[in-house]
Amino acid sequence: MSSAPQPEWSDRSRELSQLLARTGLGDRAAFATLYRKTSAHLFAVVLRICRDRGQAEDVLQDVYVSVWRAASGFDAAQSQPMTWLTSIARNRTIDGLRRAQTQPRLQTTSTDEEDSDVYEATADDRPGPLELLSRSSDARALSTCIDGLAAPQRQSLALAFYDGLTHAEVAEKMGEPLGTVKSWVRRALMSLKTCLERAVQRDEAAAGR
Amino acid sequence: MDYSRPALADRPAAEYVSGALRGPARRRFEALLTAHPALRAAVAQWQARLMPLTGAIEPVEPPASVWDRIESRIGGSTAPVATRTAWWNRLALWRGFTAAAGAAAIALALVNVAPGPARPPIVVVLSATGPAAGAAGAVPASFVASISSDGRAMVTRPITHVSVSPDRALELWAVPAEGVPRSLGLISADGTTIVKKGKVLDNTSALAVTLEPPSGSPTGKPTGPIVYLGKLQI
């Protein structure tokens, strides 16, 4: 499970931008192609957070209806198409989450378990959020920055981001106080930001700008 | 809170994009977004930082029924049109094209509106339709075209850096609601071009830029892909 199938984030961008622009002009064929090329990724993102398959399908449907309506607002100069699409999918999914749906998958974990069991093992055979975080290597800078996070920060961020757990749920899952988890997530985000900004500066310096 | 200050916008934006912000707080934040450009910018930055993380998730093919339901909700059949009509003939059918408001605002800031009693020029923002594939390689960006109110002269300029490979040139077209586009000549990818073709606005519903051979389209009709497109709203 070490080499994950990476959607070639930047390679696909050019084509997807064009499809989105045409979708924004009401081009249904372009929209159909856009769906074919992106729905498996978005469905996976939705499904990760919203574990009920039927509900995930409903969310995905809403996502693409939104995309159809909002595509003319997509600006290729401002954002990457997959970033734009994935953000819509995540927002829809999180908006649709109710506590009732997030509750059942919380299991009480005894604190004397191995840490790796808590974070890596899930009821099904899908990879744990922490494994996903370590796989996110399509952008080298990003993976370097993730490696630089302290373990608890990385774990709490992975649970919150991939599985859509609230801070309280992350705290319960990790067996840590809520305040501690909150500050871990916050620090993880801020470290990522600083680290990525430094990487950009390095790239620019290397390019002689 | 003063969300126009980047430092204050950053933290709620990070919490929003990471998913930590929930329930009523999330909805309040979304309401604030519409009013605060700095907040939107911070959100966009966080999205760019965090969304690539989802690239690690194994794709899952949704069932065909999802697409069927999407299709019925957006109305009509989306069976791809088999007939290959020229893009300028389809242009009239493309509805709902509006240049992004943000881009329009940038454009207005960049275009020097001549002072005095003259009527202001008409400004058309040409949005990237996605650059032509591969080797042709123009980066996504936008052009702005400023047309004198009498329609006799036009100035085009790129809003952001546009790179065109040396074996390609950008050609500007006046696209009528029906019929064949008229060439307005080649335009510069990296600076201002003054276009004097007379009656630019007559029978023109959109401006388009295509990628053509260095000396322009050999046929007098567009031969390359459209890279920028802007509808005239008069």
| Whole-angstrom distance, CA of residue A22 vs CA of residue A30 | 6
Residue A117 has pLDDT above 60, yes or no: no
pLDDT tens per residue across span B91-116: 433 333 333 333 444 444 444 344 44
| SS3 label, residue B157 | strand
Judged by DSSP in three states, A138 sits in: coil
Task: Convert the pLDDT of each residue in B182-214 to its tens digit.
Answer: 888 888 887 788 887 766 777 788 888 888 888
Q: How many CA atoms lie within 13 A of A31 on its CB side?
A: 27
Lowest pLDDT segment from A6-20, A71-85, B123-137, B158-172: B123-137
CB contact residues (below 8 A), chain A span 7-66, against chain B: 7, 9, 14-22, 24-29, 31-32, 35, 39-41, 43-45, 47-49, 57, 60-61, 64-65
Q: Which residue has the higher pLDDT, A54 or B230?
A: A54
Please, is B101 exposed, middle or buried when counting C-beta atoms within 10 Å of its C-beta (0-12, 13-18, 19+)? exposed
With a CB-CB cutoff of 8 Å, which residues 124-183 of chain A face chain B?
Answer: 126-127, 132-133, 135-139, 142, 157, 160-162, 164, 166-167
Cβ <8 Å between A41 and B57? yes
| CATH, range A105-206 | 1.10.10.10
Q: Tokens 């469905």 correspond to what residue? A: A43
Chain B: closest CA distance from residue A111 (Å) = 24
Closest CA to B59 of A82, A98, A66, A65: A82
Which pair of structure tokens corresponds to residue A109? 């974990």
Reported confidence tier of residue B119, pLDDT bands at 50, 70, 90: low
Distance CA A190, CA B46 (A): 11
- pLDDT over threshold 80, residue B36: yes
B7: tokens are: 């430092």
What CATH number does the domain located at A9-101 have? 1.10.1740.10
Highest mean pLDDT among A6-15, A102-111, B124-133, B146-155: B146-155
Q: Which residue has the tokens 């999330």?
A: B26
pLDDT(B153) > 70: yes
Query: Per-residue confidence at A32, pLDDT binned at 50, 70, 90?
Result: very high
User: Domain boundaries in chain A?
Assistant: 9-101, 105-206
CB A87 within 8 A of CB B17: yes
Minimal CA separation from A114 to chain B, in Å: 24
| The two three-digit tokens of residue A99, written as one number | 């506590």
Q: Which of B19, B46, B60 lies closest to A161, judged by CA?
A: B19
A77-97 per-position pLDDT tens digit: 778 899 999 999 999 999 888
**ipTM value of the model?**
0.80
Task: Tell me which of A101 and A112 has the higher pLDDT.
Answer: A101
In this structure, the number of other CB atoms found within 10 A of the CB of residue B45 comes to: 20
Cβ contact A127:A47 at 8 Å: no
CA angle B232, B99, A90 (to 5 degrees): 160
Q: How many CA atoms lie within 13 A of A53 on its CB side?
A: 5
Please give the angle made by the CA atoms of A198, A200 and A201, to the nearest 5 degrees.
65
First to last CA, chain A: 39
End-to-end CA distance of chain B: 40
A137-146, B110-119, B143-152 — which one is most confidently predicted on average? Answer: B143-152
**Most confident segment among A1-5, A103-107, B2-6, B128-132:** B2-6
